[in-house]
Amino acid sequence: MFEARLIQSSILKKVLDAVKDLLNEATFECSDSGIQVQAMDNAHVSLVALNLRSDGFDKYRCDRNLSMGMSIATMSKILKCAGPEDTVTLRAADNPDTVAFIFESSNKEKLAEYEMKLINMDQEHLGIPETFYSCVVKMSSHEFARIVRDLSQFGENITIACTKEGVKFTAIGDSGSANVKLAQTADASEENDAVIIEMQESVKLSFSCRYLTCFVKATPLCSQVQLSISNDVPLVCEYKIGDIGQIRYYLAPKIDD
């Protein structure tokens, strides 16, 4: 028996909004420690790693490890049926063909249950090593979303150049170019808006706007985003999910011919 309950369905709604443009389907690995998802987009250029710890749920029970292949589009449709104040419970048997989503209104007068068929999926699990990054930038997630949106109008790629002084985002296209520079915050008292850079070595890499635009769909999950960058390895774009876990997006850099 697997059962996981969240008082706020809005967290799960936001998680689905943050992955539905990248993933068609994904395997949800459920164990005692929580729920983990690792999935690549169709082109295998990006990877989503989602972790929801069991202690972050209001109720969590997982008698044996489960791998549940789920259609992200169907799951997203189901979660749209939950009210923002509803409690959500995921429930499955030990060898499940289906998973149930149960929504309960805060006054307990409405109970809705949606059952979704699981998908048999070939599991392709990649080993992501612990990596020490040359630059780690912490900044407002809203500011990052805005920069991605603004610069995407000018080119297909955004170049991120990070030095000790700050971080510079550049897009160059046929119609012109755009760049935004953010200086490291001197007084980081306003923590959420601060730009904090931990740098060992300056880096400069380019990434596809199309994927970055998908990643910033996670903005409602967290007021801060963390970008980890090293030359010649994938960018990591990380959003915390309250006290329950985090979502990390990995994106392969563009390589200059």
> Which of residues 106 and 177 has its CB atom nearest to other proteins in the complex?
177
Which x/- pattern over 103-142 shows residues binding other proteins (rule: CB under 8 A)?
---------------------xxxxxx-------------
- Looking only at residues 192 through 221 of this chain, which bind other proteins when binding is defined by CB under 8 A? 206, 208
CB of 126 to other proteins, least distance (A): 4
Q: Are 160 and 207 within 8 A, CB to CB?
A: yes
d(CA 101, CA 80): 12
> Does 190 sit near other proteins (CB under 8 A)?
no
Which helix (H) or strand (E) segment holds residue 142: the answer is helix 141-152
d(CA 196, CA 2): 40
Which helix (H) or strand (E) segment holds residue 76: the answer is helix 72-80
Which of 1, 43, 73, 183 is close enough to bind other proteins by CB under 8 A?
A: 43
CB of 98 to other proteins, least distance (A): 29
CB of 184 to other proteins, least distance (A): 28
Dihedrals phi, psi of 156, to nearest 5 degrees: -85, -20
Q: Return the number of other C-beta atoms located less than 10 Å from residue 42's C-beta.
A: 9
* Amino acid letter for position 47: L
Which residues in this chain contact other proteins in the complex, by CB under 8 A? 40, 43-47, 124-129, 157, 206, 208, 233-234, 250, 252-257
